[in-house]
Amino acid sequence: MSAPITLHLLAVVIWVGGMFFAYMALRPAAGLLEPPVRLTLWSHTFKRFFPWVWVSIITLLVTGFGIIKQSGGMGEVGPHVHIMLLLGIIMMLMFLHVFFAPHKKLALAVESQDWETGAKALNQIRLLISINLLLGLITTVVGSAGQFY
């Protein structure tokens, strides 16, 4: 019973912590760089971080639904789990969009040195990650402290 929740929490820390670092620390620091270097840095950063997000998402789904099954199904778990599931699915759909649309566009733009298109794609990623970071923090609070409300 303790392994699924441990993995669930590790996946949360990796995904939400990674978004927090990217948005709150790397984004303002990278703003000091010229577009060609800045966009290349982001493209390479995403190439290394996004596989971890895939691993986190799969882990969250497998462990989350595993815990629900062990608890007796959706009818037996508290409302905080229903809210977590809904917010988690929204976060995952937003990540899928980022991964397959602006992130792919950014990688292609960097490859062909089209900095204008790259900057537009990065702007979209920045907006979507800021929303997902906020949702991730809220979902973490709901998942961990929700049972006490």
Q: Measured from the CB atom, is 29 or 89 closer to ligand HEM?
A: 89
Minimal distance, residue 124 CB to ligand HEM, in Å: 22
Residues 117-146 that bind ligand HEM (CB under 6 A): 136, 139-140, 143-144
Q: Which one of residues 10, 30, 41, 61 is an interface residue with ligand HEM (CB under 6 A)?
A: 61
Place of tokens 């229903």: 82
Give burial (CB, 10 Å; 0-12/13-18/19+) of 73.
exposed
Structure tokens at 148: 């006490």
d(CA 127, CA 32): 19
With binding defined as CB under 6 A, does residue 5 bind ligand HEM? yes
Half-sphere exposure of 114 (CA within 13 A, CB side): 11
Rg of the chain over all Cα atoms, to the nearest angstrom: 17
Lay out the site mask for ligand HEM across 62-101 (x = CB under 6 A, - = otherwise): --xx-xx--------xx--x--xx--xx-x----------
Element (H, E) at 97: helix 79-100
Minimal distance, residue 59 CB to ligand HEM, in Å: 10
Query: What residues make contact with ligand HEM under the rule CB under 6 A?
Result: 5, 8-9, 12, 16, 60-61, 64-65, 67-68, 77-78, 81, 84-85, 88-89, 91, 136, 139-140, 143-144, 147
